[in-house]
């Protein structure tokens, strides 16, 4: 008897505190050091949670010059950023259906020469391949943010494994 296919397990969620914008920038730098071509990062969190701010910090660490603005691709849906490793930055907030994600040309980019960073991607997790690092940003009672990192799939686990040694300076948020 054959057992049903098993998807790769998700990691235990890793909650960390980002008390200031500087912490978010440090996390972005740590991610920038850890990301490899082909990796997928899905960023979740309310409007203004800091998703684009984090993408900007990742992009700068990967050498995207400050002359190139890193902003939410809210209307364009996709931005290409010239990092040492090319970056595809998507914002799927306004994307209606899985049909249009097929037309966007985003899915072909995952697992290849670029790093793919997707805001509001969780609705399309299965289309995106469900193999990467999921980052949830939440506003806290004060002015800071909580960030919860969850690796999905083999590639996501490998990325989290590379990232964790760079996270020792962050406080773990209460669960
Ligand atoms: N740890 C932090 N503490 C306080 N403020 C922060 C922190 N991290 C980021 N921010 C602030 O959050 C603001 C909003 O961030 P950003 O525009 O990146 O949100 P977003 O999640 O991309 O929103 P949207 O869904 O509208 O695109 C930034 O201007 C930044 O100053
Ligand atoms: Mg944004």
* Per-residue pLDDT tens digits for 122-167: 999 999 999 999 999 999 989 999 999 999 999 999 999 999 999 9
Pocket of ligand 1 (CB under 6 A): 18, 20-21, 23-24, 45, 47-53, 72, 119, 143-145
Residue with tokens 């994600």: 101
Q: Which of the four pLDDT bands, split at 50, 70 and 90, describes residue 9?
A: confident
Q: Which of the four pLDDT bands, split at 50, 70 and 90, describes residue 98?
A: confident
d(CA 113, CA 29): 20
> Is residue 153 within a helix (H) or strand (E), and if so which, with residue range?
helix 153-163
**What CATH number does the domain located at 14-167 have?**
3.40.50.300
Residues with CB under 5 A from ligand 2 (ion): 51-52, 72
pLDDT digits (tens, 9 = 90+) for 57-72: 999 999 999 999 999 9
Average pLDDT, the chain: 94
Q: What is the pLDDT of residue 107?
A: 97
Contact 81, 68 (CB under 8 A): yes
Contact 19, 172 (CB under 8 A): no
Tell me the two tokens of residue 102. Answer: 């097929």
- Residue located nearest, by CA, to atom 11 of ligand 1: 50
Q: Is the pLDDT of residue 4 over 70?
A: no
pTM of the model: 0.95
d(CA 136, CA 41): 11
Instruction: Report CA-CA distances (Å) from 10 to 130, 152, 158.
Output: 10, 4, 12
d(CA 119, CA 122): 8
Instruction: Return the higher-pLDDT residue of 11 and 18.
Output: 18
Residue 171 burial by CB count (10 A; 0-12/13-18/19+): exposed, middle or buried?
exposed
d(CA 2, CA 48): 47
């Amino acid at each position: 008897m054959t057992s049903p296919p098993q998807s790769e397990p998700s990691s235990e969620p890793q909650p960390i505190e980002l008390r200031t914008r500087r912490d978010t920038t440090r996390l972005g730098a740590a991610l920038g050091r850890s990301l490899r071509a082909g990796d997928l990062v899905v960023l979740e969190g309310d409007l203004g949670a800091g998703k684009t701010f984090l993408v900007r910090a990742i992009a700068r660490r990967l050498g995207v010059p400050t002359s190139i603005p890193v902003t939410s691709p809210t209307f364009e849906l996709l931005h290409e950023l010239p990092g040492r490793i090319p970056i595809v930055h998507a914002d799927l907030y306004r994307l209606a259906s899985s049909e249009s994600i097929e037309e966007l040309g985003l899915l072909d980019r995952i697992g290849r020469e670029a790093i793919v960073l997707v805001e509001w991607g969780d609705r399309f997790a299965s289309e995106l391949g469900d193999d990467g690092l999921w980052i949830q940003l939440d506003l806290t009672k004060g002015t800071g943010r909580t960030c919860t990192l969850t690796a999905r799939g083999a590639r996501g686990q490998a990325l989290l494994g590379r990232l964790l040694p760079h996270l020792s300076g962050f406080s773990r948020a209460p669960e």
